[in-house]
Amino acid sequence: MIHRRLFTVLIVLFAPLTAAAEDAIVAVAANFLTTAEKLAGRYEAESGHRITIVHGATGQIYAQIRNGAPYDIFLAADTLRPAKLAEEGRSADRATYAIGQLSLIGKTAVDLAEPKEAFIGKTVALADPTVAPYGLAATSSMESLGLDTATFRSVLVSDVGQVASIYATGNADFAFVATSLLDLLDPAFAASMDRRHPPIRQDGVLLTRGANNPAATGFWGYLFTDAARQVIAASGYGVPE
């Protein structure tokens, strides 16, 4: 933590020396896309640098980085992949930037105390637990709700962005999505799955590729400022202490 603060201070100190506009590519987990776009827009206006946002499932982006994808920063939906990248020597800095929250949404209301009936014969969309941390949280939530997965049809897709699109196109009755996507979806029913799954700590990595790129280090520092934390909190996330 102290390391990160120091880093941020250094960036702020040296910012005037790096006035030339630079580009950085930031890969973000699908759940954080709209929030990252907001943050990037504000950062671009402040700094004059350009941020390109790329999105996908956390596991997919991790594999892409292993295969040479030119990303400077990776905002993951878990702590596992960032830790792996650090082990592999690809991380210049690493910290938790948000705590993800999952919601159950649906076309009809569900009594969370007795949800089994409402799900019978329905189609439920969730992210694939093997590549998407929100999928893992969704399976934990289903267990916590005491749902019997044999009584309804589960549709697994690669990330929460696709879950949202399946629900929005009318192809699912219920869906487990990131709370940050609720504004976009405006569902008839929504319930927070808070405490029904282990907290989704979302770690970011300043990749070694971006360590000497002022646009990347600048955005990395900006992510942990109070202004950025307010944007993150207002978008449906917890923020780390």
Partner 1 sequence: MSVWPAIWLTLQLAVVTTVILLAIALPLAWWLARTKSPIRPFVEAITALPLVLPPTVLGFYLLVFMSPEAPLGAFVLKVTGETLTFSFTGLVIASLVYSLPFAVQPLQTAFMGIGRETIESARTLGASPRDAFLNVALPLARRGFLTSAILTFAHTIGEFGVVLMVGGNIPGRTRVISIEIFTAVETLDYATAHTLSAGLLIFSFTVLTLVYFGNRQGVARVG
Select from 8, 35, 47, 162 the one that contacts partner 1 (CB under 8 A): 162
- In angstroms, the CA 237 to CA 192 distance is 12
Is residue 77 within the footprint of partner 1 (CB under 8 A)?
no
Among 24, 29, 36, 69, binds partner 1 (CB under 8 A): 69
The residue from 11, 22, 52, 90 that contacts partner 1 (CB under 8 A) is 52
Q: Does 56 bind partner 1 (CB under 8 A)?
A: yes
Is 68 a binder of partner 1 (CB under 8 A)?
yes
If one asks whether residue 67 binds partner 1 (CB under 8 A), the answer comes out as yes
3-state secondary structure 149-199: HHHCEEEEECCHHHHHHHHHCCCCCEEEEEHHHHHHHCCCEEEECCCCCCC
Looking at 168, 190, 211, 239, which residue binds partner 1 (CB under 8 A)? 168
Q: Is 238:180 a contact under the CB 8 Å cutoff?
A: no
The distance in angstroms from the start CA to the end CA of the chain is 10
Asked whether position 185 contacts partner 1 by CB under 8 A, the answer is yes
CB of 66 to partner 1, least distance (A): 8
Q: How far is the CB of 238 from partner 1 (least distance, A)?
A: 23
Distance CA 173, CA 238 (A): 27
Q: Could you give the string, one character per residue 81-120, with x where binding to partner 1 holds by CB under 8 A and - elsewhere?
A: ----------------------------------------
Alpha helices in the chain (DSSP H): 2-14, 33-47, 58-66, 80-87, 116-119, 133-145, 160-168, 182-185, 214-222, 226-234
Binding positions for partner 1, rule: CB under 8 A:
25, 30, 33-34, 52-56, 64, 67-70, 161-162, 164-165, 168, 184-185
